[in-house]
Amino acid sequence: MSWFKREDGDYESNPGGDGPNGERNVRTEGLWTKCLGCRAVLYKPELEANLNVCPKCQHHFKLGARQRIELLLEPGFELVDGGLRSNDPLNFTDVKPYKKRLRAAQEATGLDDAILNAVGKIGRHSVVLSAMEYRFIGGSMGAVVGETIARAVDRARTTRNPLIVVAASGGARMMEGVVSLMQMAKISSALAQLDDAKVPYICVLTDPTTGGVTASFAMLGDLNVAEPGALIGFAGPRVIEQTIRQKLPEGFQRSEFLLEKGFLDAVVHRHHLKAYLDRALDFLSSSAA
């Protein structure tokens, strides 16, 4: 089939016209993707219509921060706490300057950093929502992510609206060194104040949630829920295996494993997540009253 004929490293030649043998060639690049779970070839528009969940094996693909907000909040939500950008506190350079990495991530995602805050409703509940963006330097937590989540916590405390954080991160951002690590204590102390005020906090852990994010706010929710198959831990499984020189159990650090061991309260399919959070807020709001 000419639709799948690869020429010069692409899926097209003379798009919309005739090929060298008189065959009609049609651009298909970017229309298909392979499922990481069952290896099935999926049509991207159909996958996106299914909330980026494989219809064959239910593997959950990653979602961006904007998609998360649109998935969970009712229409009419408002983005808040924007406009914060890192000033590269350490003037960090490895194979390329940190400033260049930031600019590239900003251009690729259209975001200032790896986080978006929004206020809106889930069902009848007014909430404050923070959603992390994994495509922005691996969703890593620097000063901007820490400050943005801290502002969401403060907003939830002052308005007494429940806080929901959707975590997706490789951990602390090494390019900001100790400034990044300080965000763990900063957010955790703000959450302690939120707890004292008896305002509910729910954390939704998605694939992956690791490092300093797991070691701080991602596991401090009144309710900690995760999507199926999400990698959740501090160090990654390969690092652990290399350190202890042992083979890890099947499914180690996946959400189902953590639920079995008591580290999570629930594993919820993406299709049911909004309804689950709505019911959870019914319960938590009545308990806090």
Predicted confidence (pLDDT) per residue in 241-268, tens digit: 999 999 999 899 999 999 999 999 999 9
What share of the chain has pLDDT > 70, as a percent? 89
Higher pLDDT, 11 or 186: 186
State the maximum Cα–Cα separation within the chain, in Å, rounded to a whole number: 74
Residues 6+ apart with CB under 8 A from 83: 112
Domains of the chain in start order, with CATH, are 23-61 (no CATH), 62-288 (3.90.226.10)
Q: Does residue 12 carry a pLDDT above 60?
A: no
In degrees, rounded to 5, the angle at the alpha carbon of residue 274 between the alpha carbons of residues 217 and 173 is 30
The closest alpha carbon to 270, from 206, 199, 213, 202, belongs to 206
For position 286, what pLDDT does the model report? 76
Identify the pLDDT of residue 138.
97
Q: Among the listed ranges 25-34, 88-97, 155-164, 278-287, which one has the minimum average pLDDT value? A: 25-34
Q: What is the pLDDT of residue 30?
A: 79
User: What is the model's pTM?
Assistant: 0.88
Span 76-135, pLDDT tens digits? 999 999 999 999 999 999 999 999 999 999 999 999 999 999 999 999 999 999 999 999
Residue 7 pLDDT grade (very low, low, confident, very high; cuts 50, 70, 90): very low
